[in-house]
Structure 1
Amino acid sequence: MTAGMNAVPIPFTSGDYAARMARLVDDALEAGLDGVIVTPGPDLVWLTGYRPTAMTERLTMLLVAPHTHPTLLVPILERPDAEAADGATAVGIADWTDGTDPYEAASRLLRPDGRFGISDSAWAMHLLGLQAALPDTRFASLSHSLPMMRALKDDNELGRLAAAGAAADATYAEILKVRFAGRRETDVAADLARLLREFGHEQVDFTVVGSGPNGANPHHEAGDRVIEHGDAVVLDFGGLMHGYGSDTTRTVCVGEPSAEVLEVHEIVRQAQQAAFEAVRPGVTCQEIDRVARAVITEAGYGEQFIHRTGHGIGVTTHEPPYMVEGEERLLQPRMCFSIEPGIYLKGRFGVRIEDIVTVTDDGGARFNNTDHALQIVE
């Protein structure tokens, strides 16, 4: 698949899903697990292509374990949808009926004294139900036992991420043409959502528009504040395209920026660039955070950089690996993650710059390539 946003992705095949589950078995064995339980959420989509039509209280789970064929347990009323999933032929499908005990049905699939990884999206009621049915079985969060399960992307996945990044870039290029002054944050957020869809996104996950003092809140949700002349405005937006995520941030200024906004923006730009230049195989994830943080701290704004430098991305916009202090995992080729340092001056303004990058054999490559310079909007 090419990296262009208009390229049609190569469909994932049953063989692709089978290969992912085979890799999962190998990883589980290495981690000392007897198998992996996957409930509805991004892990299940990645492994089978199955996304239940509704997240209900009815137990749905995939069991992947050594020396057994992967089995997807579903409520009988949802069996037709499960059988229609892209990866359905790579799994066996079992079902249970309303009025019967789903945990008893699940217990027949599991080793009664085993240790299983379980996806983080599992409902507590389901985990408690499994524990009651299998009191000698132990469970471990996948984010701790197999955190890198989806981290290394294949060529098809990289192409989808590149296409999503190009669509986000095209969205940014167009949003620079709209009027900001005198309009509400929600108006600009609606423009961002419309443009993401126009450029190919099937799902819009977030459109942060933080103007003036609202920009000092990294996760500000667009509100009714009217954007004013002189405001710095943080634009952070993304979603899913061909099932894979986009996520980019740029900070613009409505009219001529103050000297302070220019200074802070340049510091963040330098921090983002320094962190990108540090990307290469064998570097720890925490080193990317340290490099960005060092630039900002040296400039005197260390206490105003209040979040990690980055997060992984794939079938969801936040997943391992995380670029944060304490994460000593080594970067490997085909890992994909954000680099998004920021400075937030409470009650005044904020600045953040974010690109999605991937680790190459000898460095890194960006999936977002719009200008990092502070852009002036009307």
Structure 2
Amino acid sequence: FFPEENVSQKTADLVASMGISKPKIGFTRYFISLKDYQCLMKTLPGLVVGDIASECYKIRSVKSEQEIAYISKASSFLCEGMRAAYEAVKPGIKETEVLAEAEYAMRKAGSEGSTFRMQVLRHDRQQLMHPYAGDFVIGDNQPVVIHLGASYKGYAAKMCRTVFLGNVEEETAAIYKLLIEAQKIAMEALRPGVTSAEVYSKVFRLIHDHGYAKMFMDHIGYGVGIRQSEFYPILGKELPHEIKENMVVDVLLPTIYKPRIGGPRITDTVLIQKENCIRLTDFDTAPVFK
């Protein structure tokens, strides 16, 4: 487009050229700008708009064979990145330096880039809301969270692991092992026909029995596809979203939010099959101590 033109007006003009009286247009509300809306309303008198985001998320929640292949490919890049991060992380290095090594390895493997701001987090930054790797030096005797994203042909995948440097609090290491167990329970529960609430309930029971019920989130995973966090299905408390064959979701999203102790995380991209659930991010989940 030329400087005096814009895609919002071009879109409005295209709809106007169809000659439809009082057109109805469905929006995915999370990604439509005010400029788009204003151009459409000005150019198309009588326009009726509605939100179709929920239906769009449902339609794309069940993946085709090709989509699964793309997400699987992106998942393989994450394994390369995590190996590089494991090699790089050590006391005295910056979060961004570790991430640089991981991202370089994924790019070399074929990743088109992450669809979110990736995380390498020292312990004091792990319970922030939506943190990302920054200019922070990693110290000894602490866990380091490494949350990576990759994509292929427009499809995303994600994976998170925690590395323990030196001597860490016993409870912190125990929390990571608990989350590994919680992830296993979630994956065993993820079958076609169950609801996301049923999956969450089984995970929450384990967390509750270990005394962390008030330090856990209401959501433990999201769909994965052209976005890293699709809003259907959401694995969460009291949510009726039905799990279906060939859905792809991330498990396990949260940590245990206990001040000064919590923070470790584990996340994998998984595929729901007819009889079971498989990990597309095929990378060892065992705790790593350096």
Deviation at 1:111, TM superposition (A): 4.2
The amino acid across from 2:7 in the alignment is L
Task: Indicate yes or no: 2:171 matched with 1:260.
Answer: yes
Structure of greater relative contact order (alpha carbons < 8 Å, 6+ residues apart) = 2
The amino acid that maps onto 2:207 is: I
Aligned to 1:186: 96
Q: Distance in 1 between matches of 2:5 and 2:130?
A: 30
The answer on 1:323 being equivalent to 2:239 is no
- Please give the residue correspondences for 1:242-281 in structure 2 after superposition, counting only pairs within 5 Å: 242-281=153-192
Distance 1:360 1:198, change over 3 A: same
Q: Distance in 1 between matches of 2:34 and 2:59?
A: 22
Q: For residue 146 of structure 2, what is the aligned residue in structure 1?
A: 235
Partner SS, residue 247 of structure 1:
strand
Superposed displacement of residue 136, structure 1: 3.7
Equivalent position of 2:197 in the other structure: 286
Q: TM-score, normalised by structure 1?
A: 0.69
- The total of aligned residue pairs comes to 285
Partner of 2:123: 212
Using the alignment, how far apart are the partners of 1:179 and 1:323 within structure 2? 31
Question: Which amino acid in structure 2 is aligned with residue 212 of structure 1?
Answer: H
1:356 counterpart = 2:269: yes
**CA distance change for structure 1 residues 368 and 351 in 2, over 3 Å: closer, same or farther?**
same
For residues 324 and 135 of structure 1, the distance between their equivalents in structure 2, rounded to whole angstroms, comes to 41
Q: Deviations over 1:91-137 (max 9, x none)?
A: xxxxx5xxxxx635423437434543213322122223323444544
Equivalent residue for 2:279? 366
> Which AA in structure 2 matches 1:182?
G
2:108 partner letter: E
User: Contact 2:186–2:251 at 8 Å: present in 1 too?
Assistant: yes
1:326 Cα deviation after fit: 4.2
5+ unaligned residues in a row in structure 1: which ranges? Answer: 1-52, 61-74, 76-95, 97-101
Question: Do structure 1's residue 58 and structure 2's residue 6 form an aligned pair?
Answer: yes
Task: Sort the Cα spacing of 1:197 and 1:143 in 2 relative to 1 into closer, same or farther, 3 A.
Answer: same
Task: Tell me which of 15, 33, 54 is aligned to 1:106.
Answer: 15
The sequence identity of aligned pairs, in percent, is 23
When normalised by structure 2's length, the TM-score is 0.88
**Structure label with greater radius of gyration:** 1
Equivalent of 1:128, from 5, 15, 38?
A: 38
Q: Residue 160 in 1 paired to residue 73 in 2?
A: no
SS of the aligned residue for 2:250 comes to strand
Give the direction of change, closer, same or farther, for the CA distance of 1:134–1:285 in structure 2 (3 Å limit).
farther
**How far apart in 2 are the matches of 1:329 and 1:236?**
26
Specify the SS of the correspondent of 2:180.
helix
Question: 1:218 Cα deviation (Å)?
Answer: 5.3
- Counterparts in 2 of 1:166 and 1:58: CA distance versus 1, 3 Å: same
Structure 1 vs Structure 2 CA RMSD = 2.5
On the 8 A contact 1:111/1:137 being kept in 2, the answer is no
Taking structure 1 as reference, are residues 134 and 297 closer, same or farther at Cα in structure 2, changes over 3 Å only?
Answer: farther
Which amino acid is the alignment partner of residue 204 of structure 2?
Answer: R
Give deviations 1:267-304, integer Å, cap 9, x for gaps. Answer: 11111111111101111123333332222222111222
- Aligned with 2:111 (options 201, 210, 214): 201
> C-alpha distance in 1, partners of 2:13/2:124?
54
Any idea what SS the aligned residue of 1:309 has? strand
The SS at the match of 2:62 is coil
Deviation track 1:300-339 (CA, whole Å, cap 9, x = no partner) reads: 1122223621111112212132212343121111111101
> 1:202 is paired with a residue of what secondary structure?
coil
